[in-house]
Structure 1
Amino acid sequence: MSAPYLPPPWGARVIGNRMAKLFARSVLSTLSVRGRTSGRWRSVPVAVLDHDGERYLIAPRGNTEWSRNLRAAKSGRLQRKGRGEEFEAVEVPVAERAPLIRVYLEQFGRFPTVAETFRQLPDPADHPTFRIVGSRELG
Protein backbone atom coordinates (compact mmCIF):
# COMPACT_ATOMS: atom_id res chain seq x y z
CA MET A 1 0.00 0.00 0.00
CA SER A 2 1.55 3.30 -1.06
CA ALA A 3 0.34 6.57 0.40
CA PRO A 4 1.83 10.05 0.25
CA TYR A 5 3.85 11.46 3.12
CA LEU A 6 4.06 15.04 4.38
CA PRO A 7 7.34 15.46 6.22
CA PRO A 8 6.96 17.72 9.24
CA PRO A 9 8.65 21.10 9.04
CA TRP A 10 11.90 21.37 10.99
CA GLY A 11 10.28 23.26 13.87
CA ALA A 12 7.52 20.70 14.31
CA ARG A 13 9.96 17.80 14.11
CA VAL A 14 12.73 19.12 16.35
CA ILE A 15 11.02 21.53 18.71
CA GLY A 16 7.37 20.48 18.46
CA ASN A 17 7.90 16.84 19.43
CA ARG A 18 9.95 17.86 22.48
CA MET A 19 7.43 20.49 23.53
CA ALA A 20 4.56 18.08 22.97
CA LYS A 21 6.13 15.65 25.42
CA LEU A 22 6.21 18.40 28.04
CA PHE A 23 2.87 20.12 27.50
CA ALA A 24 0.55 17.51 26.01
CA ARG A 25 1.20 14.61 28.37
CA SER A 26 -2.50 14.18 29.00
CA VAL A 27 -3.08 13.67 25.27
CA LEU A 28 0.05 12.11 23.81
CA SER A 29 1.55 8.68 24.21
CA THR A 30 4.94 7.48 23.09
CA LEU A 31 4.67 4.82 20.42
CA SER A 32 7.63 2.47 20.03
CA VAL A 33 7.85 0.10 17.08
CA ARG A 34 10.70 -2.06 15.83
CA GLY A 35 12.22 -0.78 12.62
CA ARG A 36 11.27 -2.97 9.68
CA THR A 37 14.87 -3.07 8.42
CA SER A 38 17.07 -2.50 11.47
CA GLY A 39 14.95 -4.21 14.11
CA ARG A 40 15.79 -1.34 16.48
CA TRP A 41 13.08 0.27 18.55
CA ARG A 42 11.93 3.62 17.15
CA SER A 43 9.81 6.02 19.23
CA VAL A 44 7.52 8.89 18.33
CA PRO A 45 4.78 10.86 20.12
CA VAL A 46 1.26 9.96 18.94
CA ALA A 47 -2.32 10.75 19.87
CA VAL A 48 -4.31 7.59 20.52
CA LEU A 49 -7.94 7.87 19.43
CA ASP A 50 -10.46 6.31 21.83
CA HIS A 51 -13.70 5.72 19.96
CA ASP A 52 -16.64 3.36 20.56
CA GLY A 53 -14.68 1.21 22.99
CA GLU A 54 -11.74 0.76 20.61
CA ARG A 55 -8.38 2.51 20.34
CA TYR A 56 -6.76 3.62 17.11
CA LEU A 57 -3.52 5.06 15.78
CA ILE A 58 -3.94 7.33 12.78
CA ALA A 59 -1.02 8.78 10.81
CA PRO A 60 -2.00 12.41 10.07
CA ARG A 61 1.09 12.96 7.92
CA GLY A 62 0.43 9.97 5.70
CA ASN A 63 2.76 7.04 5.12
CA THR A 64 5.12 7.80 8.00
CA GLU A 65 8.05 5.66 9.12
CA TRP A 66 6.12 4.61 12.23
CA SER A 67 3.11 3.54 10.17
CA ARG A 68 5.27 1.51 7.78
CA ASN A 69 7.10 -0.07 10.72
CA LEU A 70 3.82 -0.89 12.49
CA ARG A 71 2.37 -2.37 9.29
CA ALA A 72 5.40 -4.66 9.07
CA ALA A 73 5.74 -5.52 12.77
CA LYS A 74 2.01 -5.72 13.58
CA SER A 75 2.89 -4.91 17.20
CA GLY A 76 4.42 -2.19 19.30
CA ARG A 77 4.52 -0.49 22.67
CA LEU A 78 2.70 2.52 24.03
CA GLN A 79 3.74 4.52 27.06
CA ARG A 80 1.73 7.27 28.73
CA LYS A 81 2.02 8.82 32.16
CA GLY A 82 4.59 6.24 33.27
CA ARG A 83 2.48 3.24 32.27
CA GLY A 84 3.47 1.00 29.41
CA GLU A 85 1.77 -1.66 27.35
CA GLU A 86 2.56 -3.98 24.50
CA PHE A 87 -0.07 -4.34 21.83
CA GLU A 88 -0.88 -5.87 18.51
CA ALA A 89 -2.29 -3.79 15.68
CA VAL A 90 -4.62 -4.48 12.79
CA GLU A 91 -4.76 -2.07 9.88
CA VAL A 92 -8.19 -0.57 9.33
CA PRO A 93 -9.52 -0.93 5.77
CA VAL A 94 -9.69 2.34 3.82
CA ALA A 95 -13.50 2.13 3.58
CA GLU A 96 -13.73 2.33 7.41
CA ARG A 97 -11.32 5.23 7.96
CA ALA A 98 -13.40 8.35 7.16
CA PRO A 99 -15.57 8.28 10.32
CA LEU A 100 -12.48 7.62 12.46
CA ILE A 101 -10.67 10.55 10.87
CA ARG A 102 -13.66 12.83 11.57
CA VAL A 103 -13.58 11.89 15.26
CA TYR A 104 -9.78 12.23 15.33
CA LEU A 105 -10.09 15.77 13.95
CA GLU A 106 -12.77 16.63 16.51
CA GLN A 107 -10.48 15.51 19.32
CA PHE A 108 -7.04 16.55 18.05
CA GLY A 109 -7.58 19.04 15.21
CA ARG A 110 -6.84 21.97 17.52
CA PHE A 111 -3.19 20.96 17.83
CA PRO A 112 -0.70 22.70 15.54
CA THR A 113 -0.49 21.22 12.03
CA VAL A 114 -3.00 18.37 12.62
CA ALA A 115 -5.97 19.86 10.77
CA GLU A 116 -3.69 21.26 8.08
CA THR A 117 -2.22 17.83 7.27
CA PHE A 118 -5.72 16.45 6.69
CA ARG A 119 -6.51 19.40 4.41
CA GLN A 120 -3.36 18.67 2.40
CA LEU A 121 -4.06 14.93 2.34
CA PRO A 122 -7.89 14.73 2.29
CA ASP A 123 -8.25 11.11 1.07
CA PRO A 124 -8.68 8.60 3.95
CA ALA A 125 -6.49 6.21 1.94
CA ASP A 126 -3.61 8.64 2.60
CA HIS A 127 -3.73 8.01 6.36
CA PRO A 128 -2.64 4.59 7.58
CA THR A 129 -4.95 3.70 10.47
CA PHE A 130 -4.52 0.89 12.97
CA ARG A 131 -6.84 -0.64 15.57
CA ILE A 132 -5.03 -1.53 18.79
CA VAL A 133 -5.84 -5.09 19.86
CA GLY A 134 -4.45 -7.63 22.28
CA SER A 135 -2.72 -5.23 24.65
CA ARG A 136 -1.05 -6.16 27.93
CA GLU A 137 0.59 -3.99 30.55
CA LEU A 138 4.36 -3.95 30.86
CA GLY A 139 5.72 -4.66 34.32
Structure 2
Amino acid sequence: MVSELDLFTRITNAIVKRLSRFGISAFGAKELVVTGRKSGQPHSTPVNPVRFDGGLYLVAPRGQTQWVRNVRHTPQVVLRSGRSQDSYTVQELQGASAVPVMRVYLKKWAWEVGRFFPEGVTAKSTDDEIAAVIPAHPVFRLVRK
Protein backbone atom coordinates (compact mmCIF):
# COMPACT_ATOMS: atom_id res chain seq x y z
CA MET A 1 0.00 0.00 0.00
CA VAL A 2 1.25 3.48 -0.88
CA SER A 3 1.42 5.94 2.01
CA GLU A 4 -0.14 9.38 1.75
CA LEU A 5 3.34 10.92 1.76
CA ASP A 6 4.49 8.67 -1.09
CA LEU A 7 1.36 9.47 -3.07
CA PHE A 8 1.84 13.21 -2.47
CA THR A 9 5.48 12.93 -3.58
CA ARG A 10 4.54 11.05 -6.76
CA ILE A 11 1.86 13.59 -7.66
CA THR A 12 4.14 16.54 -6.88
CA ASN A 13 6.98 15.05 -8.93
CA ALA A 14 4.66 14.47 -11.89
CA ILE A 15 3.44 18.08 -11.73
CA VAL A 16 6.96 19.54 -11.42
CA LYS A 17 8.20 17.33 -14.25
CA ARG A 18 5.34 18.42 -16.52
CA LEU A 19 5.89 22.09 -15.66
CA SER A 20 9.61 21.73 -16.43
CA ARG A 21 8.79 20.29 -19.83
CA PHE A 22 6.78 23.44 -20.55
CA GLY A 23 9.64 25.64 -19.37
CA ILE A 24 8.01 26.59 -16.08
CA SER A 25 10.45 26.17 -13.23
CA ALA A 26 8.77 25.63 -9.85
CA PHE A 27 11.16 27.37 -7.44
CA GLY A 28 14.13 26.54 -9.70
CA ALA A 29 13.34 22.84 -10.21
CA LYS A 30 14.54 21.20 -13.42
CA GLU A 31 14.07 17.89 -15.13
CA LEU A 32 17.11 15.60 -14.89
CA VAL A 33 17.56 13.17 -17.78
CA VAL A 34 19.87 10.21 -17.17
CA THR A 35 20.64 7.05 -19.13
CA GLY A 36 19.35 3.88 -17.49
CA ARG A 37 22.24 1.63 -16.47
CA LYS A 38 20.31 -1.53 -17.43
CA SER A 39 17.95 -0.36 -20.18
CA GLY A 40 20.21 2.21 -21.83
CA GLN A 41 17.08 4.33 -22.26
CA PRO A 42 16.68 7.91 -21.04
CA HIS A 43 14.84 8.39 -17.73
CA SER A 44 13.81 11.69 -16.23
CA THR A 45 13.01 12.95 -12.77
CA PRO A 46 12.51 16.39 -11.23
CA VAL A 47 15.48 17.74 -9.25
CA ASN A 48 16.35 20.87 -7.31
CA PRO A 49 19.74 22.09 -8.52
CA VAL A 50 21.60 24.44 -6.22
CA ARG A 51 24.28 27.00 -7.04
CA PHE A 52 27.26 27.29 -4.74
CA ASP A 53 30.57 29.08 -5.14
CA GLY A 54 30.14 29.42 -8.92
CA GLY A 55 29.18 25.78 -9.46
CA LEU A 56 25.95 23.89 -10.02
CA TYR A 57 25.15 20.87 -7.83
CA LEU A 58 22.58 18.16 -7.27
CA VAL A 59 21.78 16.57 -3.93
CA ALA A 60 19.87 13.31 -3.62
CA PRO A 61 17.43 14.06 -0.77
CA ARG A 62 15.79 10.64 -1.10
CA GLY A 63 19.13 8.86 -0.96
CA GLN A 64 20.35 6.04 -3.17
CA THR A 65 17.61 6.39 -5.80
CA GLN A 66 17.58 5.08 -9.36
CA TRP A 67 18.86 8.38 -10.75
CA VAL A 68 21.81 8.26 -8.33
CA ARG A 69 22.72 4.71 -9.38
CA ASN A 70 22.32 5.63 -13.05
CA VAL A 71 24.54 8.73 -12.71
CA ARG A 72 27.23 6.70 -10.97
CA HIS A 73 27.14 4.22 -13.86
CA THR A 74 27.02 6.82 -16.66
CA PRO A 75 28.02 10.27 -15.39
CA GLN A 76 26.53 12.18 -18.33
CA VAL A 77 23.23 14.00 -17.72
CA VAL A 78 20.96 16.64 -19.18
CA LEU A 79 19.10 19.29 -17.19
CA ARG A 80 15.99 20.37 -19.01
CA SER A 81 13.47 23.14 -18.64
CA GLY A 82 11.13 23.55 -21.58
CA ARG A 83 13.13 23.72 -24.80
CA SER A 84 16.27 24.63 -22.91
CA GLN A 85 18.57 21.76 -22.10
CA ASP A 86 22.15 21.66 -20.96
CA SER A 87 24.50 18.68 -20.92
CA TYR A 88 26.78 17.99 -17.97
CA THR A 89 29.36 15.56 -16.71
CA VAL A 90 28.72 14.59 -13.09
CA GLN A 91 31.35 14.41 -10.34
CA GLU A 92 30.38 13.00 -6.95
CA LEU A 93 31.68 14.88 -3.93
CA GLN A 94 32.80 13.07 -0.80
CA GLY A 95 33.22 14.07 2.83
CA ALA A 96 34.09 17.61 3.81
CA SER A 97 33.98 18.94 0.25
CA ALA A 98 30.25 18.15 0.09
CA VAL A 99 29.35 19.80 3.43
CA PRO A 100 29.04 23.43 2.27
CA VAL A 101 26.96 22.38 -0.74
CA MET A 102 24.65 20.32 1.47
CA ARG A 103 24.30 23.25 3.87
CA VAL A 104 23.23 25.60 1.04
CA TYR A 105 20.89 22.93 -0.33
CA LEU A 106 19.23 22.43 3.04
CA LYS A 107 18.87 26.17 3.51
CA LYS A 108 17.14 26.54 0.15
CA TRP A 109 15.13 23.31 -0.11
CA ALA A 110 14.48 22.03 3.44
CA TRP A 111 10.87 23.22 3.26
CA GLU A 112 10.34 20.64 0.51
CA VAL A 113 12.79 17.81 1.26
CA GLY A 114 13.66 18.18 4.93
CA ARG A 115 11.49 15.19 5.85
CA PHE A 116 13.88 12.89 3.97
CA PHE A 117 16.81 13.77 6.24
CA PRO A 118 17.35 12.49 9.78
CA GLU A 119 15.52 14.54 12.36
CA GLY A 120 17.56 17.50 13.53
CA VAL A 121 19.77 17.76 10.43
CA THR A 122 19.33 21.27 9.06
CA ALA A 123 21.37 23.99 7.40
CA LYS A 124 22.34 25.07 10.93
CA SER A 125 23.75 21.66 11.88
CA THR A 126 27.47 21.27 12.57
CA ASP A 127 29.82 20.25 9.78
CA ASP A 128 30.18 16.82 11.42
CA GLU A 129 26.40 16.31 11.57
CA ILE A 130 26.02 17.23 7.92
CA ALA A 131 29.02 15.12 6.87
CA ALA A 132 27.43 12.14 8.60
CA VAL A 133 24.37 12.21 6.26
CA ILE A 134 26.24 12.70 2.99
CA PRO A 135 26.86 8.97 2.35
CA ALA A 136 23.08 8.46 2.49
CA HIS A 137 22.31 11.66 0.51
CA PRO A 138 24.97 11.98 -2.22
CA VAL A 139 26.10 15.34 -3.58
CA PHE A 140 27.13 15.81 -7.22
CA ARG A 141 28.83 18.67 -9.03
CA LEU A 142 27.60 19.32 -12.57
CA VAL A 143 30.29 20.35 -15.05
CA ARG A 144 28.98 21.77 -18.30
CA LYS A 145 30.13 19.88 -21.38
Q: Residue 55 of structure 1 contacts residue 131 of structure 1 at CA under 8 Å; is this kept in 2?
A: yes
Secondary structure of 1:9 counterpart = helix
User: Equivalent of 2:136, from 123, 126, 139?
Assistant: 126
- Whose Rg is larger? 2
Secondary structure of 2:72 counterpart = helix
Which residue identity does 1:20 align to in structure 2? V
Give unpaired runs (5+ residues) of structure 2.
122-131
Q: Aligned runs of 1:96-135 on 2, under 5 Å? A: 96-111=97-112, 114-119=113-118, 123-135=133-145
RMSD, aligned CA: 2.0
C-alpha deviations, 1:8-45, integer Å up to 9, x for none?
A: 712212x1112334475341100000001110000000
Bigger strand share: 1
TM (norm. structure 2) is: 0.77
Q: Residue 79 of structure 1 contacts residue 85 of structure 1 at CA under 8 Å; is this kept in 2?
A: yes
Instruction: State how far apart, in whole Å, the 1-side matches of 2:88 and 2:74 are.
Output: 11
- Residue in structure 2 matched with residue 16 of structure 1 by the alignment: 12
Instruction: State how far apart, in whole Å, the 1-side matches of 2:25 and 2:144 are.
Output: 26
Between Structure 1 and Structure 2, how many residues are aligned? 125
Percent identity (aligned): 34
- Residue in structure 2 matched with residue 31 of structure 1 by the alignment: 32
Instruction: State how far apart, in whole Å, the 1-side matches of 2:72 and 2:98 are.
Output: 16
- Residue in structure 1 matched with residue 63 of structure 2 by the alignment: 62
Which residue identity does 1:89 align to in structure 2? V
Q: Residue 58 of structure 1 contacts residue 130 of structure 1 at CA under 8 Å; is this kept in 2?
A: yes
Which residue identity does 1:11 align to in structure 2? F
Which residue identity does 2:137 align to in structure 1? H
Instruction: State how far apart, in whole Å, the 1-side matches of 2:57 and 2:74 are.
Output: 16
Which residue identity does 1:9 align to in structure 2? D
TM (norm. structure 1) is: 0.81
Instruction: State how far apart, in whole Å, the 2-side matches of 1:24 and 1:79 are.
Output: 10
Instruction: State how far apart, in whole Å, the 2-side matches of 1:26 and 1:85 are.
Output: 18
Give unpaired runs (5+ residues) of structure 1.
1-7
- Residue in structure 2 matched with residue 42 of structure 1 by the alignment: 43
